[in-house]
């Protein structure tokens, strides 16, 4: 035994110190990287005017467009994938891989003509088959696509998804390599907008056959967008470079280094510090953290780099419309009208959010903001009294469920304090993990209230009025147990209406019905306060899930 132990432990300490030097001298271990030869080290200072952008993202789960559901994955996917069409910020459908399309008069048949010069990043032509394969794959229950419902309106899609018919039986076919024909189960005026979402991006069958789930790995993946994936070091960075095979105008940027900031309690703080240390050119789409807002806005340099972008997102309070006292519209209105949304936004949350009068955010057709009740404490109190609860007397204590996060907690505590002081009603708060809240929301008939929030997948009224509020729509989402037959009828008609003016009218009437029933309590519309270095031009955070659009960004020093 003795011989294993040096009789002079000083030598032991010396060897520990030596080991420290040896270990510290190694370069850090690179996860998931098998090739180490001559790789340039991570992001460093760039030479002036290089068209390179350093952009932060969070943990990316997948680059598979058929499987992606989270904003972060979608952020990267929309940089490297183009679909048939693009939905522009002003709500127009713009051609992308499809150079033109025809819609049948009853809005059930869509014929797309693909650009013959549109190529995958490896130079292969993008064909109608790539879309057909992608649609079939999404609608195959074995794929487990969580967003399959998005394109289920394709004729035969519902049967395929239930496993009652093979996915190849759906009505999407490649007439020839550049002609794609899709039929929908019912008139679907919104179908073109839907084709702009990531779920409808083309997929290469040969890659899936060859690589299986690993087709999205660095070196395997082929894409259709203006940028392509050069490097993916898991949990560290994505390097995107310009796709030289891109058919359209090539972006100014030649390289985007996306550094991964892992999900954690201080993620926004970390992004801000990296930005201030000169390691990032933008803070991506992440807000300046509330605790730093005052300092940033006072700082002579940082305050000039602040940019605010509205989001197509609303946060509201769902209340159970079939449970007393919330079954009384006067109670719901009193609760909504007694809030001081400006104070919540500016003093509590310190975010550039917009007070929400109605539940559907700006940018979506049909909004009737003036039809919704305005903040008015006196009237709120009188409504509550009329409902039988003067000064909140006799109002039962109720519970508000929310998924825990610093911001959600601040909102919950504001609501609790405000309703107590303004109306004299008592709300209990219950915070929980998101996976616990979701099943509780699903079809729940007995709850009191919970936090609800929704961001557009695509900016079309169907993604709000129909997806969320039609009483027969899948009630897994924002269950308020509200039902208004006229509303249901209107939004269903509107979804298939081809005449834009008539369609708008129908949604407007539907919005007025929502305002009249005030079935839910709107709180605010989303917006992001980000930082952008002055040499980054045309930087714009998208209103929907996809982060910043980078194809028009350039660097000018």
Partner 1 sequence: MGRYAIRRLLAMIPTLLAIYTITFFLMRATPGGPWDTNERGLPRQTLDALNAKYGLDKPLYQQYWDYLVGVVTRFDFGPSYKMTNRTVTDIVTDFLPVSIQLGLIAMTIALSVGLTLGIISALNQNKLADYIAMFIAIVGVSIPTFVIGPILVLIFAVQFRLLPTGGWSRPEHMILPAIVLALEPTALIARYTRSSMLEVIRQDYIRTARSKGLREIVIIVRHALRNALIPVITVGGVLLAVVVTGSFFVETIFGVPGIGRYFVSSIANRDYPVIMGTTLMLATIVTFMNLMVDLTYGFLDPRIRYD
Quick one: 353 or 515, whose CB is closer to partner 1? 353
We find the least distance from the C-beta atom of residue 191 to partner 1, in angstroms, to be 19
Extract the tokens encoding 108. 């059930």
Quick one: 180 or 412, whose CB is closer to partner 1? 412
- Which residue shows structure tokens 């904003």? 71
We find the least distance from the C-beta atom of residue 215 to partner 1, in angstroms, to be 8
Quick one: 49 or 438, whose CB is closer to partner 1? 438
> What is the chain's percent helix, strand, coil content, to nearest 5?
35, 20, 45
Q: Closest Cα partner for 405 from 364, 363, 349, 361?
A: 349
The answer to whether the beta carbons of residues 275 and 530 sit under 8 Å apart is: no
- According to the 3-state scheme, what is the secondary structure of 397-465? CEEEEEECCHHHHHHHHHHHHHHHHHHCCCEEEEEECHHHHHHHHCCCCCCCEEEEEEECCCCCHHHCH
We find the least distance from the C-beta atom of residue 31 to partner 1, in angstroms, to be 4
We find the least distance from the C-beta atom of residue 82 to partner 1, in angstroms, to be 21
Q: What is the bridge-based pairing of β-strands 255-260 and 52-57?
A: parallel
Extract the tokens encoding 51. 């068209």
We find the least distance from the C-beta atom of residue 27 to partner 1, in angstroms, to be 6
Q: Closest Cα partner for 201 from 93, 61, 77?
A: 77
According to DSSP, the residues that pair with 237 across neighbouring strands are 233, 259
Quick one: 2 or 298, whose CB is closer to partner 1? 2
DSSP letters for 366-384: T--GGGSPPP-HHHHHHHH
Quick one: 254 or 267, whose CB is closer to partner 1? 267
Quick one: 31 or 300, whose CB is closer to partner 1? 31
Quick one: 329 or 407, whose CB is closer to partner 1? 407
State residue 358 phi and psi, 5-degree precision: -115, 180
The answer to whether the beta carbons of residues 84 and 128 sit under 8 Å apart is: no
Quick one: 53 or 423, whose CB is closer to partner 1? 53
* Maximum distance among all Cα pairs of the chain, rounded to whole angstroms: 93
We find the least distance from the C-beta atom of residue 370 to partner 1, in angstroms, to be 28
We find the least distance from the C-beta atom of residue 438 to partner 1, in angstroms, to be 4
We find the least distance from the C-beta atom of residue 232 to partner 1, in angstroms, to be 10
The answer to whether the beta carbons of residues 317 and 449 sit under 8 Å apart is: yes
Quick one: 249 or 472, whose CB is closer to partner 1? 472
DSSP letters for 16-39: HHHHHHHHHHSPPPPTT----TTP
Q: Closest Cα partner for 402 from 429, 425, 420?
A: 429
Quick one: 32 or 166, whose CB is closer to partner 1? 32
The answer to whether the beta carbons of residues 56 and 280 sit under 8 Å apart is: yes
We find the least distance from the C-beta atom of residue 230 to partner 1, in angstroms, to be 15
Extract the tokens encoding 537. 């031009």
The span from the CA of 212 to the CA of 542, in Å, is: 32
First vs last C-alpha separation in the chain: 68
| Cis bond before residue 122 (omega within 30° of 0) | no
Quick one: 214 or 304, whose CB is closer to partner 1? 214
Quick one: 133 or 419, whose CB is closer to partner 1? 133
Quick one: 70 or 340, whose CB is closer to partner 1? 70
The span from the CA of 521 to the CA of 356, in Å, is: 9
Quick one: 131 or 454, whose CB is closer to partner 1? 454
We find the least distance from the C-beta atom of residue 102 to partner 1, in angstroms, to be 31
- According to the 3-state scheme, what is the secondary structure of 139-180? CCHHHCCCCHHHHCCECCHHHHHHCCCCHHHCCEEEEECCEE
We find the least distance from the C-beta atom of residue 13 to partner 1, in angstroms, to be 7
We find the least distance from the C-beta atom of residue 411 to partner 1, in angstroms, to be 16
Q: How many CA atoms are closer than 13 Å to the CA of 242, on its beta-carbon side?
A: 16
We find the least distance from the C-beta atom of residue 397 to partner 1, in angstroms, to be 23
We find the least distance from the C-beta atom of residue 469 to partner 1, in angstroms, to be 14
């Amino acid at each position: 035994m003795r011989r294993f132990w040096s009789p002079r432990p000083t030598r032991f300490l010396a060897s520990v110190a030596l080991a420290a030097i040896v270990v510290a001298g190694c370069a850090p271990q690179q996860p998931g990287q098998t090739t180490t030869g001559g790789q340039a080290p991570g992001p460093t200072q760039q030479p002036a005017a290089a068209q390179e952008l350093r952009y932060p993202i969070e943990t990316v789960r997948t680059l598979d467009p058929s499987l992606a559901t989270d904003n972060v994955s979608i952020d990267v996917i929309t940089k490297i994938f183009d679909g048939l069409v693009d939905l522009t910020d002003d709500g127009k459908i713009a051609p992308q891989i499809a150079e033109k399309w025809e819609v049948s008069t009853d809005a059930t048949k869509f014929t797309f003509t693909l650009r013959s010069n549109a190529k995958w990043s490896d130079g292969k032509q993008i064909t109608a088959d790539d879309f057909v394969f992608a649609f079939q794959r999404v609608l195959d229950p074995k794929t487990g696509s969580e967003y399959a419902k998005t394109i289920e309106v394709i004729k035969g899609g519902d049967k395929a998804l239930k496993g009652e018919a093979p996915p190849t039986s759906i009505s999407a076919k490649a007439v020839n390599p550049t002609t794609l024909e899709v039929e929908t189960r019912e008139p679907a005026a919104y179908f073109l907008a839907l084709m702009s979402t990531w779920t409808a991006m083309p997929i290469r069958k040969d890659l899936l056959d060859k690589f299986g789930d690993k087709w999205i790995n660095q070196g395997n993946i082929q894409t259709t967008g203006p940028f392509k994936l050069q490097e993916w070091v898991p949990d560290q960075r994505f390097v995107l470079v310009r796709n030289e095979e891109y058919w359209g105008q090539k972006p100014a940027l030649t390289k985007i280094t996306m550094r991964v900031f892992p999900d954690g309690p201080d993620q926004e703080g970390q992004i801000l510090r990296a930005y201030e240390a000169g390691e990032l050119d933008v803070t991506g789409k992440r807000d300046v953290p509330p605790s730093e807002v005052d300092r940033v806005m006072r700082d002579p340099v940082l305050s000039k780099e602040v940019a605010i972008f509205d989001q197509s997102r609303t946060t509201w309070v769902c209340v159970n419309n079939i449970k007393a006292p919330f079954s009384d519209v006067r109670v719901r209105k009193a609760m909504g009208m007694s809030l001081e949304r400006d104070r919540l936004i500016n003093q509590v949350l310190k975010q550039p959010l917009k007070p929400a009068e109605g539940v559907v955010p700006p940018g979506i057709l049909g909004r009737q903001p003036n039809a919704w009740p305005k903040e008015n404490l006196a009237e709120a109190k009188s409504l509550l009294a009329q409902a039988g609860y003067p000064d909140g007397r006799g109002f039962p204590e109720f519970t508000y469920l929310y998924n825990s996060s610093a911001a959600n907690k601040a909102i919950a505590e504001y609501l609790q304090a405000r309703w107590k002081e303004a109306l004299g009603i008592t709300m209990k708060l219950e915070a929980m993990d998101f996976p616990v809240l979701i099943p509780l929301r699903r079809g729940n008939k007995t709850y009191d209230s919970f936090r609800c929030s929704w961001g557009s997948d695509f900016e079309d009224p169907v993604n709000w009025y129909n997806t969320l509020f039609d009483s027969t729509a899948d009630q897994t989402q924002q269950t308020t147990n509200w039902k208004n037959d006229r509303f249901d009828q209107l939004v269903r008609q509107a979804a298939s209406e081809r005449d834009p003016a008539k369609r708008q009218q129908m949604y407007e009437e539907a919005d007025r019905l929502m305002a009249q029933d005030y079935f839910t309590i709107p709180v605010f519309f989303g917006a992001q306060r980000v930082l952008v270095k002055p040499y980054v031009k045309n930087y714009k955070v998208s209103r929907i899930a996809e982060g910043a659009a980078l194809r028009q960004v350039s660097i000018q020093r």
